[in-house]
């Protein structure tokens, strides 16, 4: 009798384990994997997109660029090859949204500092004053980690074309004079294929939490 009881006990345990495995397997099969959208110009507010690309519905990517970072190094897309990165636009003397955005970029930097897959890229929208030495001083003041985060300057037209034609993040094209500048709070998430996978309010803490979540989701696509 005791042997029968022990056998039934073992059988019940095995049956329970099998039931858990089956239920988990069914749940996994029925639950779709979370996946981020691939943003195309025709999916974005037309005010933020250059008229030459507003009609594009597929295959949009960030175009090639050549800029100079806080250390005087030339930065191109090669630096971000096979990397996920977060891009934004700022200027060092901004006293409104930029300080908050920079603080949030620093929070992101802290989270990704040991992650070789993820980098940061901040473009100055006021290259006339944001020279390499100015960017370097700003980077040192804020605690920028050079290997993780490039603060870049360069030709104003080139930067603004990137903002409107590649990152789809600016209402201005910079043609209104020397003080016509981008003033966007957008953080843009770019994948390893140079595609845009998300837009986030760089001044909003909850939006930054969503960005950190989406980075994890995006990383799973490459597993």
Which residue, 166, 136, 126, is CA-closest to 71? 136
Answer yes or no: is 94 a known binding residue. yes
Region class of 67: left (phi > 0), else alpha (psi between -120 and 50), else beta: beta
How far apart, in Å, are the Cα atoms of 143 and each of 106, 115, 147, 210? 8, 17, 12, 23
Alpha-carbon Rg for the chain in angstroms: 23
Q: Cα–Cα distance between 187 and 209 in angstroms, integer? A: 12
Are residues 59 and 39 in contact, defined by beta-carbon separation less than 8 angstroms?
no
Answer yes or no: is 98 a known binding residue. yes
How far apart, in Å, are the Cα atoms of 215 and each of 94, 114, 157, 182, 198? 27, 14, 30, 25, 9
Instruction: Provide DSSP, 71-91.
Output: TS-EEEGGGGTT-EEEEEEE-
Which residues does the annotation place in the binding site for Cu cation?
94, 98, 183
Which residues does the annotation place in the binding site?
94, 98, 183
């Amino acid at each position: 009798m005791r042997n029968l009881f022990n056998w039934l006990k073992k059988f019940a345990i095995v049956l329970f384990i099998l039931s858990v495995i089956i239920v988990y397997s069914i749940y996994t099969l029925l639950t779709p994997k979370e996946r981020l959208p691939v943003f195309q110009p025709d999916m974005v507010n037309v005010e933020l997109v250059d008229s030459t690309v507003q009609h594009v519905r597929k295959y949009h990517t960030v175009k090639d660029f050549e800029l100079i970072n806080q250390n005087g190094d030339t930065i191109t897309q090669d630096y971000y090859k096979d990397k996920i990165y977060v891009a934004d636009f700022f200027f060092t003397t901004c006293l409104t949204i930029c300080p908050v955005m920079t603080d949030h970029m620093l929070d992101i930097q802290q989270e990704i500092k040991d992650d070789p897959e993820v980098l940061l890229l901040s473009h100055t929208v006021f290259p006339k004053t944001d020279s390499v030495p100015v960017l370097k001083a700003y980077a040192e003041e804020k605690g920028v980690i050079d290997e993780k985060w490039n603060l870049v300057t360069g030709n104003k037209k080139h930067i603004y074309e990137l903002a409107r034609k590649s990152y789809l993040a600016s209402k201005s094209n910079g043609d209104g004079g020397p003080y016509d500048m981008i003033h966007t709070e957008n953080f843009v998430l770019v994948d390893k294929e140079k595609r845009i996978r998300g837009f986030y309010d760089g001044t909003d803490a909850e939006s930054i939490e969503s960005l950190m979540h989406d980075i994890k989701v995006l990383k799973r696509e490459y597993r």
